[in-house]
Structure 1
Amino acid sequence: MTVNLITISELANIFEINQHTIRHYEEKGLLAPAEVSENGYRKYGLTEAYKLSFVLFLRELGLSLSEINELLESGSKIDYTKVLMERKLKIQEEKHRLDMLSQMVDEQIHLTTKIKEKTYDVKSPIRLKCLVRKQITENLTILDLLESGLKKEIFLGRVYYIIYENFYDVCIENKDGKAFEIDSGRYGMTVIEVNNEVELNYELEKILLLQELPLITIEDNERFLSSGERLTLKVLGAQR
């Protein structure tokens, strides 16, 4: 009997895997114990530990068990080098994808700021045409837009919400519009980003503590990930 061997449980603990994984590798011919005792206990030495480490490394690279088996059977350094070069290319591609994803996450984290102070420049007077007038307690629906006679333009262009005490007007820019006119100049601006009507009302109530009616709010089609689930509104303040 060979000394200085460890059990399958001890080997599994070293590599932080379960015993079933080791047995599965043995069934696939990727690993074999150094010895099996009369009572069926598997024993492993340093050679088996190195081989298991190699198999786990190849699995981390994304090789299937059959691919690992072929590589072990060939024992070719040329084949191994080829595999490493192929996997390195895939890792670089994945790294690029993750870098892009990380950048998107950073942008979305930035958008989670509820209120941000900015300015809004109006280069020339903007005349607005009212599409729909709603009571302040009523929500805008898709039927309202359908009845207004406007189609995709409402989603592609800039939409203005002019909020009064008891009602609000949903408007678009129109050179002949008579509903409202925004003078040219630089305005203070608060950006609010909300997920539902409750959040919207809460944010508007905070702004109304500092500003007088009517409120000029602008939707620039910045819906969260273009899904329509998140609403971004720019609320114009006093001219500066």
Structure 2
Amino acid sequence: MTLIGRTRARGVETLSLDAPERRNALSAALVGELADALTDAGKDSGVRAVVLTHTGNTFSAGADLRDPPAPEALVGLLRGIVELPKPVLARVTGHVRAGGLGLLAACDISVASHAATFAFTEVRIGVAPAVISLPLLPRTDPRALARYYLTGERLDTAEAARIGLLTAAGDDVDEVLAPILDGLRRSAPEALAETKRLLTARVLETFDRDAADLTALSARLFASAHAREGMTAFLERRDPEWVV
């Protein structure tokens, strides 16, 4: 079963997360397939840019609690997006939760329709947004991120854009994307690659410095008693025991 759809038009490769029955949760299989698709696009001289989008009403619900990827695999995927020598754009028309927000932050440009919503829900199931912090912390407002990391509150597109999680939003996401893609198609491929390298240098410094520690933190928290209770409560559609 293919979990990533692939189409191409005028040099733009569109990769679609295609597991809508699981709300495009980041399973080990989906993460591996997406990483391979990005690698292929990066090596293909016919690809000018990559658009990452989704089927169904959810861009990604975060880690698949039944088949989660290894933290190292998620680090590799996020770094692969940041390092890809082609611009990567997120196209969002649905909900984004937890690990899915790491994908948005890793992308060079992220646009959404006003139907989208966002939330860092990790603390509500007993873990922390550890690995996804690698691209998020260098690119978003730290005071706002503290609030949303600690509370799990939902953000709308206006707030997501204000804090740097989104580049732009509109009623019609394809209208928002059209001039951006036109600009990329008019840009020289080598110039795009070098310009992206300038823009991502600080993000990659964070990966180099913190990836090992945050990977270890993620593994420790996912193995904790609080995480077991939080995940069980989530799957059983009840409040975890710590809710007061």
TM-score by length of 1: 0.23
Q: Which protein has the bigger helix share?
A: 2
* Greater Rg by CA: 1
TM-score of the two chains, using structure 2 as the length reference: 0.22
Q: Which has the higher strand share?
A: 1
